[in-house]
Structure 1
Amino acid sequence: MTDRTQLRLFRGGPGAAPATAVVVAEAFDAGRLTQARQLAGLTKAAVAEQVGVSGAAVSQWESQTSPPRPDHLVRLAEVLDVPIEFFAGGRPFARLDSAAAHFRSLRSTRVCQRAKAVAFVEQVWELTYALEKRVQFPPVDLPGFLPDDTDRLPDTPAAAARSLRLHWGLGTGPIPHLVRTMERHGIVATMVSFADADTATVNAFSTSRMPRPLIVLTPDRSDDVYWHRFTAAHELGHLVLHRDAAPGDAQQEREADAFAAEFLTPAGQIHDQLPSRFDIKVLEQLGREWGVSLKSLVYRCRELGTISDASARRAYQRLNHLYELEIIAPQPVTNYPGEVPSLLAKAFELAESTGSTTMADLARELRWKIPRLRLLLGQTDQRPVLRLV
């Protein structure tokens, strides 16, 4: 647990005095430099160039071979846009390897983007940990997730989806608020532009290697609530089916898709409702009722045998044409509050309302800048920027 005396000692912020840099240099944590560099999307060579040192020096700093000098720490804080206190140890730090996260589009996600995403997850855990000291979160209710949990879901995707529905008491009908449902069962979810322009290429990912299961949904890919819901269910499938498996296997992606399809549209209930030919009106009605896309329903028709492969191909072609003409328009996730993650934001609001913390106090404890904290809480400023010319 973080020592408040230590927090007072490290209080300095932007333009910190040299004395603060000396103290931080003595308590330097190499892992924090790596995390900050990855969040900034910079290589060691790029950091070295901006700080004015050799690439070997940055490597030595991150390997703990030799700590940076106080003046180098001041420059690192400027380059990586963090308070100088960020580089000091003495607070909880859950390190996560990029090989422990399931990426929705692993092949198209570059190594540096995965590193940035993983560093982001580490910070989400830190924020969760800090808030859980003040607010009681919903307990993790995911069979087999906790080490002492002897409950296990079936290994096959469809059976696991049906069992989880039963375990969560969801019945067999449509799930109206999928993301909120996951949060109610102790899963932490986020949906923020954590990597600026790179966020769009990261897509979604999840990990079960933290004390709480965590799912990251990116707003750049969430302009369609139906795609968004399927992605969330896909990542839930990874948490259920692949807790101990190494990510990146194509078969795992297919299994997560199969889990999502059964979880959102159980075969026993949807089969008799599916049309035996491409009928846009019927599909649109089913899509609204079950909260899934028309394309996923066409896939479900083919999968459950109500239409042939040839009919499915023709249906996809017609749908693509309708999308191109914007006759079928995507539905933004922001219009569906139950699909926007809110657990962390509500936890902070409750902690703040009871006097447990303030934005400034929490940022100081985490040693982040306040804009960074607001970002992770989902409190980004959506107002247009006024530029005088």
Structure 2
Amino acid sequence: MRPTKQDLIPGTEARGTSPRAISDGFDPARLTQARRLAEMTKKDVAAALGVTSAAVGQYETGASRPRPELIPRLSETLGVPNTFFLAGRPANRLDTSMAHFRSLRSTPKSQRERALAFAEQVWELTYALELRIQLPLVDLPGFAGGEVHPGVDMPTDPARAARELRRHWGLGDGPVTHLVRRMESHGIVSVMPPSADPSAASVDAFSTRAARPLVILTANRADDIYRHRFTAAHELGHLVLHGDATGDSRQEKEADAFAAEFLTPRDSILPLLPKRMDLARLAELSRTWGVSTHSLVYRCRELGLISDATASRTYQRLRALTGQLGFTPESVSNYPAETPTLLRQAFELATEEAGLSVARLAHELAWTPERVRELLGVHEQRPVLRLVQ
């Protein structure tokens, strides 16, 4: 039976993806993903469709399917193409047990779910690119899905694990330069959501061990390069140390301890730290080692060089110097090697070698072209027509 004119979706008739066909091949998980990305409740979606919340719940569990006439309205409500809801595309479902959130307890459930849906889309984009381009092999001891066997078992102690990873990656005993770029070169997909994306503002950085390791570095820390680097090292610690995400304070403390030792190894930094608080010396070490002065003060206290009272007074002095030369946070945008580029470079290579385009990726993923550009960090290439009056 041929679809009627009312069944057809503009631009999809050739593929036979009428509302009826989409209803017949409806993927419940896609509705859940789209709803979470839009940060909408089932009640919100139900109101837009003119159905009950229970009906939307049944759509998401697969107990029933939305009627064909609801498909275009559902797509418009959630900001996705109609074909987004078709089953059959590769997917990787994530839940909170598979991800480490730096601020789990203070992050509302809806925002965590949105961040996980974002990570699912990053996985889908990565998968599509890997069909064409071989990404760097996952070389991460302690990560179950690693593609390069380290030949050693990683210690469970955070500081020892950090030293072992430095050794395995050949980083020596000095400062770690270009941290994010190094992580990507060892197969860790790193992404910074566009600042306009709600994930960038609502959720702190997080990581997931599903399939290929993924680190989301959110823009709310991009105004401070040192905080950004510590966050990246913190998430790296989770990937190495924690197979299961419990979200407890112990895991967060362990990831912090890993990050501190990874960025400033005890045996290297201890002889350099002042035994009396010298802010000029701390500022110099901060620039050399790529960590904040606050982090160095904490390191001094942690290594027993100063007392808690001295650390507290030093933090007060640092707060008073905020905004002064040498004590002003610098934007990540000034440090290209600390900005993720792996997926964009993979896309550019696939464009050159395999004729890939944004439009083709959008078609395969059933996303809008704008969404593909957002996640790749690729800007519109068409020239802009400017009319002179």
TM-score (structure 1 length as normaliser): 0.91
Decide whether the 8 Å contact of 2:195 with 2:201 is kept in 1. Answer: no
Match of 2:112 among 111, 114, 125: 114
Change (3 A) 1:57 1:267: same
Unaligned runs of 5+ in 2: 1-7, 381-385
Structure 2 contact 37–117 (Cα < 8 Å) conserved: yes
**1:16–1:84 Cα contact (<8 Å) kept:** no
Deviation at 1:70, TM superposition (A): 1.2
**Rounded Cα–Cα distance in structure 1 between residues aligned with 2:50 and 2:159:** 56
Match of 2:75 among 70, 74, 77: 77
Q: How does 1:170-249 map onto structure 2 within 5 Å?
A: 170-193=171-194, 196-197=197-198, 199-208=200-209, 210-243=210-243, 245-249=244-248
> Shift of residue 166 of structure 1?
0.3
Residue 247 of structure 1 deviates from its aligned partner by 2.5
What is the letter of the counterpart of residue 218 of structure 2? T
Cα separation, partners in 2 of 1:120 and 1:229, compared to 1, 3 Å: same
| Alignment partners' CA distance in 1, 2:234 and 2:308 | 23
3-state secondary structure, aligned to 1:330: coil
Q: Write the letter of the residue equivalent to 2:189.
A: V
Conservation of the 8 A alpha-carbon contact between 1:30 and 1:63 = yes
Query: Superposed, which structure 2 residues align to 1:329-348 within 5 Å?
Result: 329-348=328-347
Matched, 1:48 2:49: no
Counterpart-to-counterpart distance in 2, 1:277 and 1:313: 13
What RMSD in Å do the two structures reach over aligned CA positions? 2.2
SS in 1 for 2:251: helix
8 Å contact 2:142–2:239 — kept in the other structure? no
Query: How many angstroms does 1:152 deviate by?
Result: 2.1
Check the 8 A contact 1:206/1:239 in 2, yes or no: yes
State TM-score, norm by structure 2: 0.91
C-alpha displacement at 1:18, in angstroms? Answer: 9.6
Deviations 1:190-240 (A, max 9, x none): 0113773453231100011x2100000011221100000000000000000
**3-state secondary structure, aligned to 1:189:** strand
> Percentage identity across aligned positions?
56
**2:36 aligned to which of 30, 35, 38:** 38
Give the direction of change, closer, same or farther, for the CA distance of 1:154–1:141 in structure 2 (3 Å limit): same
- 3-state DSSP of counterpart to 2:322: helix
8 Å Cα contact 2:225-2:330 kept in structure 1: yes
Matched, 1:64 2:62: yes
Is the CA contact 1:18–1:71 (under 8 Å) kept in the aligned structure 2?
Answer: no
Alignment gaps of 5+ in structure 1: 1-9
- Choose from 23, 26, 29 the match for 1:28: 26
**Secondary structure of the structure 2 residue equivalent to 1:141:** coil
Matched AA of 2:67: R
Residues 190, 341 of structure 1: 8 Å contact kept: yes
SS across alignment from 1:121: helix
For 1:369, the equivalent position in structure 2 comes to: 368
The equivalent of 2:357 in structure 1 is 358
* Distance change >3 Å, CA 195–CA 100, structure 1 → 2: farther
Contact kept, 8 Å, 1:14 with 1:84, in 2: the verdict is: no
Give the drift of 1:16.
11
- By how many angstroms is 1:327 displaced? 7.0
1:87: which partner in 2?
A: 85
**Does the Cα contact within 8 Å between 2:226 and 2:290 map onto a contact in 1?**
yes
Secondary structure of the structure 1 residue equivalent to 2:367: coil
User: Do 1:226 and 1:293's aligned partners in 2 also have CA atoms closer than 8 Å?
Assistant: yes
CA deviations on 1:249-287 (whole Å, 9 max, x unpaired) are 101000000000000000000001001122111111100
| CA separation of 1:26 and 1:164: change in aligned 2, threshold 3 A | same
Alpha-carbon separation, structure 2, partners of 1:318 and 1:59: 54
Q: What is the CA–CA distance in structure 1 between the aligned matches of 2:173 and 2:49, rounded to whole Å?
A: 58
Is the contact made by 2:362 and 2:368 (CA closer than 8 Å) also made in structure 1? yes
**Partner SS state of residue 106, structure 1:** coil
AA aligned to 1:222 is A
Q: How does 1:239-318 map to 2 (within 5 A)?
A: 239-243=239-243, 245-318=244-317
Distance in 1 of aligned mates of 2:256 and 2:69: 51
Q: Is the 8 A contact 1:16 1:74 kept in 2?
A: no
Deviation at 1:310, TM superposition (A): 1.1
Q: State the match for 1:3 in structure 2.
A: none
Is 1:145 aligned to residue 146 of structure 2? Answer: no
> How many equivalent residue pairs?
371
Query: Per-residue deviation at 1:12?
Result: 5.5
Give yes or no for contact 1:200–1:221 (8 Å, CA) kept in 2.
no
Greater Cα offset, 154-163 or 69-78: 69-78
Choose 27-36 or 217-226, whichever is displaced more. Answer: 217-226
- Which letter does structure 2 place at the counterpart of 1:77? S
CA distance in 1, matches of 2:265, 2:213: 24
- Alignment partners' CA distance in 1, 2:11 and 2:273: 59
Q: Please give the alpha-carbon distance, in whole angstroms, between the structure 1 residues aligned to 2:77 and 2:14.
A: 14
